[in-house]
Structure 1
C-alpha cells in the first residue's frame, strides 16, 4: 500500500505553473537561452532540473514571455512550465535560482498557457543615467508615440511587422531619476531604448518636440542609436494572472543589499576623488 502511494505521488498529474520573475541583467548575456553564455533562461532551466521539476525543458513546455537583451533587468518577466511536482516547484524554486534572479509570484495556469502569446501587454521603464536639461518637452514629444505606428526608425525590424501599438506612455521623475514608462501590446528589438534615446535628445535641446512625429511619419529614413541597456527594466507583463506572492531567498535579498551598499560607497568615493 505504501509503495502504491509513493508511485501515485511520483506520477501525479502534471500541472502547468507560471512564475513572475525578477532579475538584475548586468551579469547575464540576455534572457534567451544560449549554449555557451550565462542567460536567465539557462539559469532558470538548470535550477528546475536540479530540483527534478522536469528533465527536458522542451517537453515541459518551458517558456518566457519574451526576450530581454544583455544588461536589461526585469521585475515582470513571466516563465511557465509543466511539472509533476508543483508543490516542490513553488516551495523551493527560489532556493536554487542564482542570487541575481528570483521569483516574486506564482499561479497555476491552464495546460495550454503560453506566456508570450497570452500576454495582453508589456510595460517597460527606462531610467536615464544622466538627467536631461528639460523634462517638459520630453513629456510633450512622448505623446506622439501613442497609437499604432511604423517603428522602423526606432527598432531593429528585420523581417518582422514594424507596426506596433503604444497603449500608454509617460515621462516622470522618480527616486531622483527621470524615467520613461511605456506600455504596448508588443515591442520590437531595441524599440524602447531607441524611443528613450529620441526623447533624451528632445529633453537636451538637441531635437525639436515634433521630431518624434516626423520620424514616425517617415519610417526608416533614420535609425536611432539605442540608449544603453543598463537603464531598462521589463517592469510588468500582463497575462491576466492573479499572482500568489513568493518571497525571495535570503541569498537574493543579501545580494541586492550588498550591491546597493557597494554602489552607494562607490558614488561617495567618486565624489571624493573626482578631478576638479
Structure 2
C-alpha cells in the first residue's frame, strides 16, 4: 500500500514538471509574438496610454459658428462668468464640457461671446452664447469655417453626415443643473452679446401683505430711457461710466392667471430692456418692495431717476439673488434646432426637482398655517427678500446717507491708475479704461 502511494506521488511530480516546462515555453512565445487576444500586458497598457495622449488634430476638422441656448439653476454657483477667485461658475463647467468633448481646442481661439452675465445665485431659462465648434460639415454651410488642413481622403459632399449632436454631447458631461436646450447655425460675425435685440428678466415674490397695485404703478415708471445710476451698483472700476439704459416694459403680474387673496400666491416682476447694469434688476426690485410695504410712495421712482436733483444714490440693500431669472434673450435670424430626446431629459430632470421642492414648500406652508392659527395673524414675508437685517425704525430713502458721486468715483480710479483722462476729437474730456474691461454692461 505504501509503495503504491509513493509511486503515485512520483508520477504527480513528473506531471508537475511537464506543466512548468509547457508554461515557460508558452511565455517565451508571447514575448516573441505579442500578447494573446484578450490578454492584458504592461506593454499593451503603455500602448493604450500613448494612444490616449495623442493630441487631437483640430486643424483637419472644419469649425462652425453656432449659437447655443442654455438653461441653468444658478443657486449653487458663484455666477455665470468665469472668475479669478473661484472655479464654481456656470461658464467654468461649460468650458470643461466643451474641452472634454473636443468641440473646441481652447477658449482663446473659440470666438466666444455670451449674451450676458448673471450674478451669484441667479438662474436662466434662456441664456445664449455664440462660439466656434468642431463640425462634421466638410461640404460647407451657414457658419462653417473650412478645415485648415485638407484630409488625405476627399470628403464627398453628397455623403456628408448630419451635424454633430452638439446638445447631446454637451449634456452628457454637464452637471444636471446646467442644460443645453438647442443650437442654431449662425453667420461668422454673429455675436450673442452685440446682436441681442433685448433681454427679459423675471423676479419671483410672494404677495404677502404687499400692495400689488402700488407696485404695478411704480413699475411702469421704470419704462423708457433713463439714467439708472441710483438703481444699480456703479461699476466704475471696470470701465462702466455711462448709466443710461432703455427699459421696454416693466410689469407686475401673478404667476397664475387667476390670482386670489392668498398671501402665499406668487407674483412676477418682469422687466424687458435692451441692456442692464450691474445689480440693476435687484436694486429696482428692492425699491418696489419698499413701495409695496407702503414705506415709500411710487413717486420715489421718478425722484431716483432724476439724477440732476439726486446725483448720489441713497444707501439701501438690494433684493436677494435666488428669485431672479434671465428669462429670455431675444434674437432675430436664428433658426433653432432642437433634439426632442434631450428636451425630454431636461424636462424630466426639472420635474423631479420641482416635485421635491414643491412638496417641501407645502410641508413648510402647513407648519406656517398651524402657527398662524395659534397667533391669529399673517406676518409679512416680503422683508426676507431684501439683503441684510430689517430696520426697526424705517428711514425714507431720500433722508438716508448717500453713496459717492460718479465724479468722485472716477477721480478715485484715475488716482489709482485704473482710468485715464483724455481729450476727444470734439475737445470734450473722455475717460479711457486702463485694463481689459470685465463686461458688466449686461449684468442683472
Q: TM-score, normalised by structure 1?
A: 0.89
Tell me what 1:193 maps to.
282
Extract unaligned runs of 5+ from structure 2.
1-56, 136-162, 257-264, 375-444
More strand by share: 1
Tell me what 1:242 maps to.
335
Tell me what 1:169 maps to.
250
Shift of 1:234: 0.3
CA contact (8 A) 1:165 1:186 kept: yes
CA distance in 1, matches of 2:344, 2:197: 32
CA distance in 2, matches of 1:251, 1:37: 26
CA contact (8 A) 2:231 2:313 kept: no
CA distance in 2, matches of 1:88, 1:107: 12
The one of 57, 64, 80 aligned to 2:114: 64
Residues 36-45 or 10-19, more deviating:
10-19
CA contact (8 A) 1:28 1:71 kept: yes
Deviations 1:66-113 (A, max 9, x none): 110011000111012102235142442222221001122210011122
Shift of 1:129: 4.3
Residues 166-175 or 22-31, more deviating:
166-175
Tell me what 2:415 maps to.
none
The one of 20, 24, 32 aligned to 2:81: 32
CA distance in 1, matches of 2:320, 2:206: 9
CA contact (8 A) 2:245 2:276 kept: yes
Tell me what 1:4 maps to.
none
Q: Bigger relative contact order, structure 1 or 2, given CA contacts below 8 A and separation 6+?
A: 1
The one of 264, 268, 273 aligned to 2:362: 268
CA distance in 1, matches of 2:181, 2:305: 37
Q: TM-score, normalised by structure 2?
A: 0.57
The one of 165, 182, 200 aligned to 1:123: 200
SS in 2 for 1:114: coil
CA distance in 1, matches of 2:344, 2:360: 24
CA contact (8 A) 1:11 1:84 kept: no
CA distance in 2, matches of 1:72, 1:52: 29
* CA RMSD in angstroms, aligned pairs only: 2.3
Give every structure 1 segment of 4 or more consecutive aligned residues whose post-TM-superposition deviation is greater than 6 Å.
Answer: none
Shift of 1:260: 1.6
Q: Confirm or deny that 1:93 pairs with 2:170.
A: yes
Shift of 1:223: 4.2
Q: Confirm or deny that 1:45 pairs with 2:102.
A: no
